[in-house]
Amino acid sequence: MTVGPGSERPEERFRRLTTPRSAAVAGIAFGILFGVSLVLMRTALPADPLARSAWTGSAATRMSAALVLAPFAGIAFLWFIGVVRDRLGDLEDRFFATVFLGSGLLFLAMTFVSTAVAGGILALSRHSGGSEAEIVYFGRELMLQVSNVYAVRMAGVFMISLGTIWLRTGLMPRWLVVTTYLLSLTLLLVVSLSLWVTLVFPAWVLVISVFILARRPGARTDGKSR
């Protein structure tokens, strides 16, 4: 089959997709949005687990704002995972990549479940008029257990697997790998229902994203190009 003048071959009409370097901004967006969401939620929750002030008045407004920000933070986190995988490229190992991707998706799923529970408690408090105190207490504890026990530990596994990948490939400097290990161990070993502990993860993602944006694409810490 001949190709006439002015026409082009089918394969010439397509271009290979490449990840824009600016996509690393997604990690910064996640760090900011998720961090703000956690701070709003933490300041809305009273120290007394039986108190209902978190679901009424100004505290309820802060809680509502936190629930609005959480889904957008999750979307940004998915983009961050994509940026990290693109940076790994052919250096990606199936074993560590499976743990890295699985733990990241589990963290995101549990975070969404936790915020959905918080949203349900908030809606119940608005319409029950204070007659469902036991359900509100149960929902509050369930939210904290999901986010501060299970989701936080999945975030720690995410950091450990990614730190190991960086250590073996040389894509990140050793000091950043060591910092990642130390922070991940904190998330894995510290047993606490305080939402402040969770702030370690978005802060780490923000720093990593800034580092990715600042570095030349394809550069390795051993001086070789990817």
pLDDT per position in the chain (226 positions), as tens? 455 555 555 555 655 545 555 567 888 999 999 999 989 888 887 766 566 556 667 778 888 899 999 999 999 999 999 888 877 777 777 787 888 899 999 999 999 999 999 888 888 777 765 556 777 788 888 888 898 889 999 999 999 999 998 888 888 889 999 999 999 988 888 766 566 778 899 999 999 988 888 875 555 544 444 4
> Which H or E element spans position 10?
none
**Model's pTM, two decimal places?**
0.80
DSSP assigned state of 219: B
Q: Residue 131's pLDDT is what?
A: 56
Q: Where are the chain's structural domains?
A: 22-214
Give the helix ranges, DSSP H, for 52-132: 57-88, 94-128
Q: Residue 183's pLDDT is what?
A: 92
Supply angle C-alpha 30, 35, 37, rounded to 5. Answer: 100
Name the residue type at position 124.
Answer: L
